[in-house]
Structure 1
Amino acid sequence: MPQLKAPSKEESALLPPFAELAEQAIHLPQTEAQFHAAHEALKRAEFLGFDTESKPLFNAGQHDSGPHLVQLATPQQAWLLQLHHPLALEITRDILGSPHILKLGFGLDNDRHSLPRRLQTELRNVEDLDRHFKRLGYGSSVGVRAAVALVLGQSFRKSKRTTTSNWAASQLTAAQRRYAANDAHAPAVIQAAWMSWERKRATGSTHTGRKPESH
């Protein structure tokens, strides 16, 4: 069976922009009350988009103390948990260790390795959406940009400058907050739309995704 090709970066860029979260839907808890509210909201979720950020390492031999930020999101809102804060660490440990809440993201191999050590707990009910696409006949690493194009028909863009910014900083910039929140929000929206997309795909009514070109 020939491998399906996901939309290229250039093709994705022609689509309408991804519907990013509004600033008021992005939560960065700092007080005990805010952490409590975040924990209660996250525990009620059936599934959550999931991603992490770490301070980049530019020199060989540097100690990797990350991840420094864990992002969890529903299709409506996102929570950014800075792991230098004990309450953030406690909430992250509880949610990622819960077998009752599905956590979904892209390219999670490194997180599966580093987070159990960081959190001192096993990750449970965590799924890599790249593997879902692979089962459908796409490549092994579709990634969030192509997945948003395929499932949502939207263009998901990332700032390289923000990608390599200091995620261990005690205060995150507005650009960092938006970037981090939407990296977790996108998998949550994809999961919410997945069944409908698969039905359309089965009937041939989707217009994204390409079969390999024949020569």
Structure 2
Amino acid sequence: MSPPHTQRATPGKEEIALLPPFERLGPDRIALVTTAAQAEQACAELAASTVWGFDTESKPTFVQGEASDGPHVVQLSTLDKAWVFQLHDHGCRALVAQLLARPGTTKAGFGLGDDKKRIEAKLGVVPEGVLELNHVFRQQGYRKDMGVKGAVAVLFNQRFMKSKKAATSNWANAHLTESQLVYAANDAYAAARVYHALGLPAGT
């Protein structure tokens, strides 16, 4: 790691645009979880890993002052597979709350401040072991928040593509589209990849 006083520049949009694309998870490695039974299976599979990439999605609000009732989707990922949990079903929602409150696992992601607040409000739990990857890069001397795009560029010399259409889509829909699933899953997957590439020990 570089000493904290060393200033390092976060790559800009123009630099990132020239890089080859990041290899994303395809639909065959993404599990949509909508029921308690599916959530139990996901819990069993996730238990094999001590580090999960983590993110959430909420239906966007377009009216000033309108409060979001999100998150509507929670994503967790290992290096092999991602799970996209919808929170409509009470049983599924309860198991997601258990996963996020589970000690001994690192939930790594970018820009998680709002996510944590919304989870506490909606699921009634304080997520345990959450690691804000932007803070790790700040400790390494990067001046501003890295974000997933900057981190993928720095660590893998690749371009992480995010669909604005998917980002601003209705995450509260009962039926998510394939593009929504791929978008959501890969935000968490990229965070897991970044965590491991940084060489951080579990429990960091």
Query: Given the two structures, how large is their TM-score scaled by the length of structure 2?
Result: 0.91
**Separation in 1 of the partners of 2:120 and 2:169?**
24
Does structure 2 conserve the Cα–Cα contact (< 8 Å) formed by 1:16 and 1:154? yes
| Counterpart in the other structure of 1:192 | 196
Q: Deviations over 1:24-66 (max 9, x none)?
A: 1000023444222111112221100000000000002323110
* Structure 2 alignment gaps of length 5 or more: none
In the alignment, is residue 26 of structure 1 matched against residue 24 of structure 2? no
Q: Deviations over 1:144-176 (max 9, x none)?
A: 000001111111011111110000000001110
Bigger radius of gyration among the two: 1
| Counterpart in the other structure of 2:115 | 111
Does structure 2 conserve the Cα–Cα contact (< 8 Å) formed by 1:95 and 1:101? no
| Counterpart in the other structure of 2:66 | 62
Rate the CA distance shift 1:139–1:92 in 2: closer, same or farther, 3 A: farther
Does structure 1 conserve the Cα–Cα contact (< 8 Å) formed by 2:30 and 2:185? yes
| Counterpart in the other structure of 1:52 | 56
Query: Given the two structures, how large is their TM-score scaled by the length of structure 1?
Result: 0.87
How does 1:24-173 map onto structure 2 within 5 Å? 24-173=28-177
**Separation in 1 of the partners of 2:128 and 2:199?**
23
Deviation at 1:2, TM superposition (A): 5.0
Moved more, 124-133 or 39-48: 39-48
Does structure 2 conserve the Cα–Cα contact (< 8 Å) formed by 1:43 and 1:95? no
**Separation in 1 of the partners of 2:29 and 2:43?**
15
Q: What amino acid is aligned across from residue 80 of structure 2 in structure 1?
A: Q
Q: What amino acid is aligned across from residue 8 of structure 1 in structure 2?
A: G
Say what the alpha-carbon RMSD is for the aligned residues: 1.5
Moved more, 26-35 or 3-12: 26-35
Q: How many residues align?
A: 196
**Separation in 1 of the partners of 2:67 and 2:195?**
35
Rate the CA distance shift 1:31–1:93 in 2: closer, same or farther, 3 A: closer
SS at match of 1:138: coil
| Counterpart in the other structure of 1:211 | none
State the identity as a percent.
42
Moved more, 2-11 or 153-162: 2-11
